[in-house]
Amino acid sequence: MGFWSNRSVMVTGGAGFLGSYVVEKLKTLGCPRIFAPRSRDHDLRDRQAIRRCLDQARADLIIHLAAVVGGIGANRRNPGRFFYDNLVMGVELIEASRLGGVEKFVAIGTVCAYPKFTPVPFREEDLWNGYPEETNAPYGLAKKMLLVQSQSYREEYGFNSIFLLPVNLYGPRDHFDLEASHVIPALIRKCTEAVESGAREITCWGDGSATREFLYVEDCADAILMAAEQHNDSSPINIGAGFEISIRELVQKIAAFTGFTGSVQWDHSKPNGQPRRRLETSRAELLFGFKAKTSLDDGLKKTIEWYRHVGRTTLQRV
């Protein structure tokens, strides 16, 4: 707590899914000055807007979580936007932070930056051994460029920035809009609505064979703050839970936890995405002591409970 007690911290995306947990944990840790710019007030793609934002924040440390994100469908519909917005936000913000004398910058990458056929488990040294999976390559590559910037700025300017690679996140406050959501919130919503309507089947994308690793959002927030406090090197660091589950098995779990007993139809015309995903996570544990605490079953149950009592109400108001 001593590390944070005299810090001024800016959290981009601080009102978003992951950012809201990071901001709450910063408050718990005694951070006295937290600035979370909102996109409606500060366009982080615009250089002048970023400068005004930094002048207002007067931050010692910046955690850059703001991103344009979505599931496979959203990535396929918006490849240009996902590439441009994410690239420009990060590049301009890091440059402005360097020029403005920010002491430390925490850049958040994505597991989507890994090559499509990375050997499992994904190791940080495999990051450049191929092209990302096509459906989310523009997003993954935009984020990957922040690693290049982080490393080159440290080499030339001595700028202290770190780069973290979280795996797929889930948890309460996630986005449950079926047009843009990731797989867990989409499945929770489909199963819950099927139970309520009496529907006897749901339809899922692909064939269910792809595997994924999922990290509970609060665990990810812990990892980010542990790294921000203890880690000072620009090498990429995986942030994950260290397990792998097929989408078919995931559907079965969510169906059981929501009470859905109908059948699952697989739409083979839709893509599976990357064939397999699981991170090798020992580097994070070694360098700053992070190890995921929340089991997938516990995390799913908490997320379903939140959706039933809060998330669904929010959707109905939109």
Q: Tokens representing 112?
A: 């989507």
- b/e 5-18 (16+ beta carbons within 10 angstroms → b): eebbbbbbbbbbbb
Closest CA to 236 of 279, 294, 291, 293: 279
Q: How many residues does the chain have?
A: 318
**What's the rounded Cα separation, in Å, for the pair 249 and 16?**
28
For helices 247-258 and 183-197, what crossing angle results, to 10°? 40
Q: Tokens representing 24?
A: 């709450």
Q: Is 131 a catalytic residue?
A: no
**What's the rounded Cα separation, in Å, for the pair 88 and 103?**
21
Q: CB-based contacts of 98: which residues, under 8 Å, 6+ apart? A: 153, 157, 159
Which candidate in 21, 114, 139, 170 is catalytic? 139
| Catalytic positions, written as ranges | 139
